[in-house]
């Protein structure tokens, strides 16, 4: 992604215009599969206590501004100090200009005295991802090792054959409502001796319970088991497990730089399904094979790599070709050009799965009207809420949104103007035919 310095007026305006304001006793940072940088400031000043070097980040997901307040009503002085602190942050951090992130202003009210308040954290916590360039280099260099681990033999681009041992499903159990602890206990109990567990559920409630939960336990090869247990994140793996896959399913995958943290999950999941006898249709795309932004034309951007195979080497080679061809550059991608390329190759797809970057809306949204098959948008990176732009696209396509927490369909046709859609702990209002975040 291109990184430029926001002009001061635009950055301050955007931070104020899209901020939510909450009052809590004490601030608690979020945890997850993302990076975070703390930018601390002295109490009652706009002075940053670290630096003075300028910091450049990858995709920004969310910025929390943390201050203290003795009441739940902000004074004129607090508002003045807030603006000065945003100026200081803007001078300290480079933020990608095409980032679509959430900004929250959080005021801590738990301190009883000024001395107690001075001991609390003040400043900013920025949640972000690794830069596309760094992710690209890491993924291209490590995909050979991942496939070698899965196949239990050295695999390179000139490898002629590789074999995956057939797996066997040995148990399928419906559990209904379960807690996080129950799920973790079952993971520890069942995932051993080459047993892989796939989880499905209707949703995760704000009470952190899984509703409509079930699991499928499969005996797999040592290679697949080793690759599965090495995964530090299972979000994409779990979302794919909850998606219907048939012989007429087209799987379209964004392989631009921001998506590389998920490629290992995709490869392990594909190997598991292949070991179960599945033969799947893939389209990988990288948004133009390193074309400059001004050269990318809607409908003919390129950088699209199709494959249909139950041979892991064929899938591996197309993935690597796509990854080596380019990694996107700017934020928007050519998602729907990739879908149409797949549909034109085989006319009888019953539905499409799109593995998409929640933080990068397609540049070619106008093409969605040409796609008659419903799309299941699998949202990678929706840690802090689904992008409302993808809700609009799913509504237009009459498709489905799948996040880590839940799956949403039908509501798009039933929801009326002015009504609200709740996705986990975020609310969106349908206004003039489009979904808007409710702050």
CA atoms within 13 A on the CB side of 44: 7
The percent of residues in the chain predicted with pLDDT above 90, rounded, is 54
Residue 196 clears pLDDT 80, i.e. is over it = yes
pLDDT band at 327 (very low <50, low <70, confident <90, very high): confident
The predicted pLDDT at position 96 comes to 64
Do 317 and 371 belong together in one domain?
Answer: yes
Sheet holding 35-40, edge to edge: 19-24, 102-108, 60-68, 123-128, 35-40
| CATH code, domain with 421 | 3.40.50
Residue 326 clears pLDDT 70, i.e. is over it = yes
Q: Please tell me the total count of domains within the chain.
A: 2
pLDDT band at 158 (very low <50, low <70, confident <90, very high): confident
pLDDT band at 364 (very low <50, low <70, confident <90, very high): very high
Q: Is the peptide bond before 52 cis (omega within 30 degrees of 0)?
A: yes
> 402 forms bridges with which residues in the sheet?
378, 407
Residue 10 clears pLDDT 80, i.e. is over it = no
Do 142 and 33 belong together in one domain?
Answer: no
Contacts 24+ apart (CB under 8 A), 177-185: 177/209, 177/210, 177/211, 177/212, 177/213, 178/209, 178/210, 178/213, 179/208, 179/209, 179/210, 180/208, 180/209, 180/210, 183/210, 183/213
Do 54 and 152 belong together in one domain?
Answer: no
Do 431 and 329 belong together in one domain?
Answer: yes
DSSP assigned state of 370 = G
Residue 108 in tokens: 């801590």
Do 388 and 286 belong together in one domain?
Answer: yes
Top pLDDT among 184 and 261 is at 184
Do 145 and 289 belong together in one domain?
Answer: yes
Ramachandran angles phi, psi of 371, nearest 5°: -105, 110
Return d(Cα 378, Cα 327) in angstroms, integer: 20
Do 333 and 397 belong together in one domain?
Answer: yes
Q: What's the average model confidence in pLDDT over 326-343? A: 87
Residue 2 clears pLDDT 50, i.e. is over it = no
Least confident piece of the model among 56-65, 146-155, 382-391:
56-65
Percent helix, strand, coil in the chain, to 5, is 35, 30, 40
User: For residue 361, what are the domain limits?
Assistant: 133-163+243-437
Which candidate, 359, 362, 306, places its Cα nearest to that of 333? Answer: 362
The predicted pLDDT at position 11 comes to 42
Do 26 and 124 belong together in one domain?
Answer: yes
Label residues 368-407 b or e (16+ Cβ within 10 Å = b).
Answer: beebebebbbbbbbbbbbbbbbbbbbbbbbebbbbbbbbb
Task: Give SS3 for 218.
Answer: strand
The predicted pLDDT at position 422 comes to 82
Q: What's the average model confidence in pLDDT over 44-73? A: 84
The predicted pLDDT at position 19 comes to 65
Residue 136 clears pLDDT 80, i.e. is over it = no
Q: Is residue 366 part of a domain?
A: yes
The predicted pLDDT at position 160 comes to 86
Instruction: State CA 254 to chain mean position distance.
Output: 11
Do 138 and 122 belong together in one domain?
Answer: no
Residue 15 in tokens: 């931070």
Write down the pTM of the prediction.
0.85
Which candidate, 75, 37, 71, places its Cα nearest to that of 53? Answer: 37
Return d(Cα 170, Cα 116) in angstroms, integer: 57
Q: Is residue 336 part of a domain?
A: yes
**For the segment 367-421, what is each residue's pLDDT rounded down to a tens digit?**
999 999 999 999 998 888 898 999 999 999 999 999 998 888 776 677 888 888 8
Handedness of CA 336, 378, 388, 232 (dihedral sign): negative
Residues 6+ away with beta carbon under 8 Å from 149: 223, 226, 227, 230
Which candidate, 434, 378, 333, places its Cα nearest to that of 98? Answer: 333
Return d(Cα 403, Cα 424) in angstroms, integer: 9
Top pLDDT among 360 and 95 is at 360
Q: Is residue 55 part of a domain?
A: yes
Q: Is residue 93 part of a domain?
A: yes
The predicted pLDDT at position 418 comes to 85
Residues 6+ away with beta carbon under 8 Å from 277: 166, 310
Residue 4 clears pLDDT 50, i.e. is over it = no
**For the segment 199-251, what is each residue's pLDDT rounded down to a tens digit?**
999 999 888 899 999 999 999 999 999 999 999 999 999 999 989 888 889 99
Do 415 and 318 belong together in one domain?
Answer: yes
């Amino acid at each position: 992604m291109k990184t430029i310095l926001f002009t001061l007026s635009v950055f301050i305006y955007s931070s104020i215009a899209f901020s939510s304001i909450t009052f809590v006793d004490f601030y608690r940072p979020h945890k997850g599969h993302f990076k975070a940088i703390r930018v601390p400031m002295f109490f009652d000043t706009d002075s940053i206590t670290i630096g003075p070097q300028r910091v450049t980040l990858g995709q920004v997901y969310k910025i929390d501004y943390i201050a203290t307040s003795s009441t739940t009503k902000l004074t004129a002085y607090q508002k003045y100090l807030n603006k000065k602190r945003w100026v200081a942050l803007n001078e300290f951090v480079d933020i990608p200009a095409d980032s679509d992130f959430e900004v929250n202003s959080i005021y801590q009210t738990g301190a009883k005295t000024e001395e107690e308040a001075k001991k609390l954290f003040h400043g900013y916590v920025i949640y972000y991802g690794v830069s596309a360039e760094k992710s690209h280099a890491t993924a291209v260099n490590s995909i050979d090792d991942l496939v070698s681990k899965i196949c239990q033999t050295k695999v390179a681009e000139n490898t002629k054959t590789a074999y995956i041992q057939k797996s066997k499903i040995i148990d399928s159990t419906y559990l209904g409502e379960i807690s996080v602890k129950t799920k973790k206990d079952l993971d520890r109990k069942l995932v051993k001796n080459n047993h892989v567990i796939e989880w499905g559920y209707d949703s995760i409630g704000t009470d952190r319970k899984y509703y409509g939960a079930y699991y499928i336990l499969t005996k797999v090869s040592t290679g697949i088991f080793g690759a599965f247990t090495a995964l530090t994140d299972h979000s994409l793996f779990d979302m794919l497990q909850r998606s219907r896959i048939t012989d007429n399913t087209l799987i379209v995958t964004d392989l631009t730089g921001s998506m590389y943290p998920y490629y290992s999950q995709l490869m392990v999941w594909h190997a598991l399904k292949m070991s179960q006898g599945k033969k799947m249709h893939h389209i990988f795309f990288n948004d133009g094979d390193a074309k400059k932004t001004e050269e990318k034309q809607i409908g003919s951007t390129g950088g699209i790599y199709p494959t249909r195979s139950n041979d892991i080497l064929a899938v591996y080679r197309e993935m690597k070709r796509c990854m080596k061809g380019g990694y996107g550059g700017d934020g928007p991608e050519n998602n729907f050009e990739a879908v149409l390329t797949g549909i034109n190759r085989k006319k009888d797809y019953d539905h499409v799965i799109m593995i998409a970057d929640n933080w990068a809306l397609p540049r070619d949204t106008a093409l969605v009207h040409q796609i008659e098959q419903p799309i299941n948008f699998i949202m990678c990176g929706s840690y802090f809420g689904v992008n409302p732009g993808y809700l609009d696209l799913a509504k237009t396509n009459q498709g489905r949104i799948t996040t880590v927490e839940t799956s949403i369909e039908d509501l798009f046709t039933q929801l009326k103007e002015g009504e609200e859609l709740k996705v986990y702990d975020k609310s969106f209002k349908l206004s003039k035919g489009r979904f808007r975040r409710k702050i």
